[in-house]
């Protein structure tokens, strides 16, 4: 076995280590995997895939992470008698969490993965706290409040251990659960330690600052929401894994009649949503885009200037777009996605979200983003 391939892999890993999670880093790690595989070096291929799973997960490429993890799981079954090390047990959470994002992955397959994860955690002597949390999230994504309550209870009762999520992620998930159950005030109170900066991690408060915006608007606390918008947008605007949260910021800007800023977000981040592998996050961003267009129409805007990617179905060289035509395109895509997810889930949750999005106009409260002179964006 030539050592040259190992040296080349090391060069690629060194180069990737200098980059933030994103397309270039993922590309370099995929090249490293290819080198290892070409030379039949399964052990090195496994090691490199661990980096790839991380970079793809947090760089916004969940399908690439899923492929790499599936290969790694088979390697562990073949070479380690099915025993997973701590790193693989931890990464299993990321993969299981991403599966519901893809409507072509059936509920039977998702539950099968969660059952397999349960068995492997038990084999390793680990708590099932993380699995219960994932099942709670799955139920929330399907709009099943009763199932979410049952899994939330099991999650809260299970002991924490070394494969449980960090305190910041756990609290953020419970905040989302409380909002899902219609308990805005309780959710905001529970978010206190995160919003006050006392709990944080690689993804928190980034996600939390986006998720509190709509509940705050519903409670009439718009000035507070604006402060969290200004703080949170800076944290998510450079990472495509936060497409869902960017949509939440876009919706907030439309709710407060900051339409120029909302359009800028739409223009800047639509390419990420268009290429998004996880279709549930694409759905969320498109919902926000549709609401922005609704507000533009309500303000009397018949056309809008946007720099959109050439791959976009309605791409115009002039950069001028008819608002009604854009709205119709988003409507068609959203309805198709909603139908696929609801058929997979056996619920009408996504269809109801379309109706709820249209009803957001009742919450509009003009509140200008502070100017730079005032300390704004």
Single out the residue of 102, 101, 100, 169 nearest to residue 130, CA to CA. Answer: 169
Mean pLDDT of the region 63-86 = 96
% of the chain at pLDDT higher than 70: 97
Q: What is the value of pTM for the model shown? A: 0.94
Mean pLDDT of the region 276-293 = 93
Rounded Cα distance, 250 and 252, in Å: 5
Residue at 224 is within a domain: no
Summary count for the chain: helices (H), strands (E): 19, 2
CA dihedral 312, 236, 246, 252 (to 10 degrees): -140
pLDDT of 317 > 70? The answer is yes
The one-character DSSP state at 159 is: P
Residue at 75 is within a domain: yes
Domain boundary among 83, 118, 139: 83
Domain boundary among 41, 60, 83: 83
pLDDT of 306 > 80? The answer is yes
> Domain range holding 287?
239-377
| pLDDT on residue 142 | 97
Task: Give the tens place of pLDDT for each residue, 81-119.
Answer: 999 999 999 999 999 999 999 999 999 999 999 999 999
Helices 107-123/86-98 angle, 10° precision = 160
Number of domains in the chain: 2
Average pLDDT, the chain: 95
Rounded Cα distance, 249 and 204, in Å: 16
Mean pLDDT of the region 25-45 = 97
Tell whether the torsion through CA atoms of 173, 176, 178 and 180 is positive or negative. Answer: negative
256 Rama sector, left if φ>0, alpha if ψ -120 to 50, beta otherwise: alpha
Rounded Cα distance, 308 and 230, in Å: 25
Mean pLDDT of the region 213-225 = 98
Domain boundary among 66, 83, 100: 83
Residue at 23 is within a domain: yes
pLDDT of 275 > 90? The answer is no
């Amino acid at each position: 076995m030539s050592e040259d391939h190992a040296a080349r892999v090391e060069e690629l890993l060194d180069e990737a280590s200098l980059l933030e999670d994103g397309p270039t880093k993922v590309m370099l790690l995929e090249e490293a995997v290819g080198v290892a595989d070409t030379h039949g070096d399964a052990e090195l291929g496994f090691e490199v895939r661990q980096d790839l799973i991380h970079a793809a997960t947090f760089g916004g490429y969940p399908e690439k992470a899923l492929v790499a993890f599936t290969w790694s799981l088979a390697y562990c079954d073949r070479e380690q008698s099915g025993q997973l090390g701590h790193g693989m047990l931890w990464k299993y959470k990321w993969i299981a969490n991403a599966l519901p994002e893809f409507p072509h992955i059936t509920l039977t397959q998702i539950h099968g993965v969660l059952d397999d994860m349960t068995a492997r955690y038990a084999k390793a002597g680990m708590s099932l706290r993380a699995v219960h949390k994932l099942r709670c999230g799955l139920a929330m994504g399907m709009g099943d409040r009763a199932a979410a309550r049952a899994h939330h209870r099991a999650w809260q009762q299970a002991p924490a251990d070394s494969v449980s999520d960090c305190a910041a992620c756990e609290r953020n998930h419970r905040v989302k659960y409380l909002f899902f159950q219609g308990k805005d005030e309780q959710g905001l109170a529970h978010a206190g330690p995160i919003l006050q900066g006392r709990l944080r991690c690689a993804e928190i408060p980034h996600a939390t600052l986006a998720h509190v915006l709509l509940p705050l608007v519903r409670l009439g606390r718009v000035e507070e929401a604006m402060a969290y918008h200004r703080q949170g947008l800076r944290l998510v605007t450079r990472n495509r894994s936060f497409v869902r949260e960017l949509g939440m910021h876009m919706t907030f800007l439309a709710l407060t009649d900051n339409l120029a800023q909302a359009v800028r977000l739409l223009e800047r981040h639509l390419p990420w949503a268009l290429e998004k592998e996880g279709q549930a996050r694409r759905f969320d961003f498109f919902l926000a885009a549709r609401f922005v267009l609704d507000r533009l129409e309500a303000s009397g805007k018949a056309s809008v200037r946007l720099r959109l990617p050439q791959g976009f179905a309605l791409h115009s060289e002039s950069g001028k777009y008819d608002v009604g035509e854009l709205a119709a395109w988003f409507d068609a895509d959203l309805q198709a996605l909603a139908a696929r997810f609801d058929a997979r889930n056996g619920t009408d949750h996504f269809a109801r979200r379309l109706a709820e999005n249209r009803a957001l106009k009742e919450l509009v409260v003009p509140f200008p983003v502070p100017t730079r002179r005032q300390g704004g964006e």
